[in-house]
Amino acid sequence: MAAHKIAIIPGDGIGTEVVPEGLKVLDAAGRKFGIDYEFTHFDWSCERYKDTGEFMPKDGIQQLSGHEAIFLGAVGWPGVPDHVSLWGLLIPIRREFDQYVNLRPVRLFEGVRSPLAGRKPGDIDYYVVRENCEGEYSSMGGRHNRGTEHDMAIQESVFTRRGVDRVMKFAFELAARRGKHVTSATKSNGIIHTMPFWDERFEEMKKAYPGFKTDQFHIDILTAHFVQHPDWFDVVVASNLFGDILSDLGPATTGTIAIAPSANLNPEGKHPSMFEPVHGSAPDIAGKGIANPIGQIWSGAMMLQHMGHQDAHDAILKAIETVLKDGGPKTPDLGGQASTADLGSAIAEVVASS
């Protein structure tokens, strides 16, 4: 099989510390399962922005388009406003490449303590399927009368039938391979145009999947259920904003957001998909070598799965499970003293000897 062409963007802060561990584990899986890669490294980051005024070169999207996948660390650094970094790099990549699904698994592992009392592995095991190209994160709207007493801001949401249907379809197809249960996140009591539309499309989509269990909750009570009844969920489909919030809350209930991965998918494979941990650049711990690399490593596993290597994905997941369970090295967020590299190496070794 031809080598997989992968773009590597470590980004900022701990992104540059966890990406090498992700690559270590990808290499181990590559040797084990006979997978070849061709990596291209890009220094696109806040540092580059401070030096050049741009996160990526003018033809950045074009440079990435020759790759099958993008493996990203985190972007954002104090001194550069967060909306500048997000809209300078991540959002253009997600939109230009029509990565309309942001898939985020949430799972409690043995050996990791959940902040929810009495929860054990198996109680928390679901996916958040977040719409990733439209919704509340739109550039429509504006500011008027800046600096006067009539200062105002307007921000429009965009929900299209095509955009809503395709992310819901993805959620149902995912549920078909799991527990045939889909939950929709809504807020059609307060947001009276877009959210009733979202509910209508959910009703319509349900018809194509007879025998599935479906439910929907307003986002406010849904966040409470994520804490009190995480065992109720299998696949949760949500708009861009609601999905963003749910997919930080979910992983937090599994002990640490540092282990949570995400896949920005163009499911049809017309464009590259992008794989990155849920966490950011963590300026508070950057440079200390203590960041937990599991979110990055698991993102690498999702990348292999997307490229057709289910066996390699499963081996990496098993290795993460084994190291967490069997008293392997733990970084401080997991209650241990290990370094980023200790934990990455331990997982790579288990993959190599699997």
* Rounded CA separation 126/145 (Å): 45
Residue nearer to Mg ion on the CB measure, 126 or 202: 126
Q: Closest CB to Mg ion among 183 and 240?
A: 240
Look up residue 182 and give its two tokens. Answer: 């889909």
Question: What tokens were used for 281?
Answer: 């650049």
> Which range touches Mg ion (CB under 5 A), out of 52-60, 148-156, 238-246, 308-316?
238-246
From 106-114, 164-172, 229-237, 284-292, span contacting ligand NAI (CB under 6 A)? 284-292
Q: Is 75 in the site for ligand NAI (CB under 6 A)?
A: yes
Q: Does 267 bind ligand NAI (CB under 6 A)?
A: no
Residue 255 as a binder of ligand NAI (CB under 6 A): the answer is no
Backbone φ, ψ for residue 54 (5° rounding): -140, 145
**What stretch of H or E contains 37?**
strand 37-41
Closer residue to ligand NAI, CB minimum distance, 51 or 215? 51
Q: What is the spatial distance between Cα 194 and Cα 35, in angstroms, rounded to a whole number?
A: 44
Crossing angle (nearest 10°) for helices 240-253 and 219-228: 20
Q: Considering CB distances under 5 to 8 angstroms, the limit depending on partner class, which of ligand NAI, Mg ion, none binds residue 268?
A: none
Least separation, in Å, of the C-beta of 39 and ligand NAI?
19
> In this chain, which of 21, 131, 234, 244 binds Mg ion, going by CB under 5 A?
244
Nearer CB in complex with ligand NAI: 47/165: 47
Tell me the CA end-to-end span of the chain in Å, nearest whole number.
22
C-alpha–C-alpha distance, residues 158 and 37, integer Å: 38
Out of 4, 279, 313, 330, point to the residue binding ligand NAI (CB under 6 A).
279
| DSSP bridge pairs for 190 | none
Please identify, among the stretches 211-219, 275-283, 302-310, 318-326, the one whose residues bind ligand NAI according to the rule CB under 6 A: 275-283
Q: Is the dihedral of CA 19, 29, 274, 100 positive or negative?
A: negative
DSSP string, 178-197: TTSEEEEEE-TTTSTTHHHH
Site residues for ligand NAI per CB under 6 A? 14, 18, 74-77, 82, 85, 90, 257-258, 276, 279-285, 291-292, 295, 333
